[in-house]
Amino acid sequence: MSELEYQEGRTELNAFGEFALIDRLTDEFEPCNPSTVKGVGDDCAVIGDGKIKTLVTTQTLAEGIHFDMAYTPLKHLGYKAVAVSLSNIAAMNGTPRQIVVSIAVSNRYSVEALEEFYAGIRLCCQRYDVDLVGGDTNSSRSGMVVTVTAIGEADEAKLTYRSGAKLHDLVCVSGDLGSAYSGLLILEREKVTFQANPNFQPDLDSYDYVLERYLKPEPRLDIVKMLGDAGVVPTSMIDVSDGLASELLHICKASQCGCEVYEERIPIDYQTTRVCSEMSQNMLPVSNALNGGGDYELLFTIDQKDYDRVKEMEGVHIIGHITEQGLPAVMVTPQNSTITLVAQGFRD
Ligand code: ADP
Ligand code: MG
């Protein structure tokens, strides 16, 4: 069979989860350049021959999948598209420097709309001292698709991979979890109500925190700085884009270990709790934290020797510890029962 001949048979895309699909597609790519330090499999690729490594990551947001124009202000969308890419640089303990932005847009969008979108991009670039250095502009038949590629750097001594967690390390997470997904639930609810009654004026003021978390997430570069200032290099790190459960499983798989986290230690904002109780009696805030996603917080592990330095850090919560290889990733409830974590992931 010639190399370009098609294989027989057809497997539907939904037969694979996202990660199994990436594995299958990239499995046979072996890096051939010595400067490719880390290829597929972490939050960023790591490139370079020197002590300061270059980090590269790319993220796509597609209309109808990742955002809904019914409730997404374009300025927020521009900000978010940059922020989610920078979050992957933060997850390597790195510093972002440049972005390139590719857009495909249909003629439903006006020049003014795209200017608004770019105002959001500019705001995020200014906020994090990042330069827009290029991109690509195309037309699209179905809505808008945005891809932001971020380039950053990190001293190799400070680089953190998903794979460095070791037995007895402490598991830490920044900020709070489940709030972005709670914001999305509110926006979806208000959209349905508005469709039923276009005169309806949603009252969103009391949900300001969760809405902002969904519409305008921040990359936790402040946490990267705080760790650096304290002289702490995490043993492993990942950003929480798909929910705590999925990210813990990534760390455990890459680091060949298990972990135990304590339910009552998982940080959850009161607005998240309120949204859950409003939505349904059966909706538990911890489920949003485990499976909601979109929070873009940092999940990392530290050596026990760094406990004293990390325990006082504002916005950092120690939620558990790493267990032996072969053990599962579990959550211990306040009643002391153990739940094995499975990745349900975000709808993204
Ligand atoms: P993250 O959630 O941190 O953005 P992903 O789950 O999207 O990470 O991707 C996991 C890894 O797989 C990353 O190293 C990413 O670069 C790589 N990857 C994702 N999609 C593709 C693809 N289509 N081709 C090659 N590599 C991919
Ligand atoms: Mg990531």
The mean of the pLDDT values for the chain is 94
* Residue with the two structure tokens 């967690």: 165
Distance (Å, whole) CA 212 – CA 218: 10
* Closest atom of ligand 1 to CA, residue 42: 14
* Ligand nearest to C-alpha 246: 1
- CB 241 less than 6 A from any atom of ligand 1: yes
pLDDT digits (tens, 9 = 90+) for 228-239: 999 999 999 999
The pLDDT value recorded for residue 204 is 84
Give the confidence band of 347 by pLDDT, cuts at 50, 70, 90: very low
Gap from CA of 57 to ligand 2 centroid (Å): 9
Residues with CB under 5 A from ligand 2 (ion): 43, 88, 239
Residue 57 half-sphere exposure, CB side, CA atoms within 13 Å? 26
What single-letter amino acid sits at 186?
A: I
- CB 65 less than 6 A from any atom of ligand 1: no
pLDDT score of 250 more than 90: yes
* Ligand nearest to C-alpha 88: 2
pLDDT digits (tens, 9 = 90+) for 267-317: 999 999 999 999 987 889 999 999 999 999 999 999 999 999 999 999 999
**Residue 125 host element (H or E):** helix 111-127
The pLDDT value recorded for residue 262 is 98
Distance (Å, whole) CA 56 – CA 298: 18
- CB 22 less than 6 A from any atom of ligand 1: yes
pLDDT score of 6 more than 80: no
pLDDT digits (tens, 9 = 90+) for 91-133: 999 999 999 999 999 999 999 999 999 999 999 999 999 999 9
pLDDT digits (tens, 9 = 90+) for 30-63: 999 999 999 999 999 999 999 999 999 999 999 9
| SS3 state of residue 170 | strand
From 16, 22, 59, the mutation candidate for ligand 1 (largest count of ligand atoms within 8 A of CB) is: 22
The pLDDT value recorded for residue 15 is 84
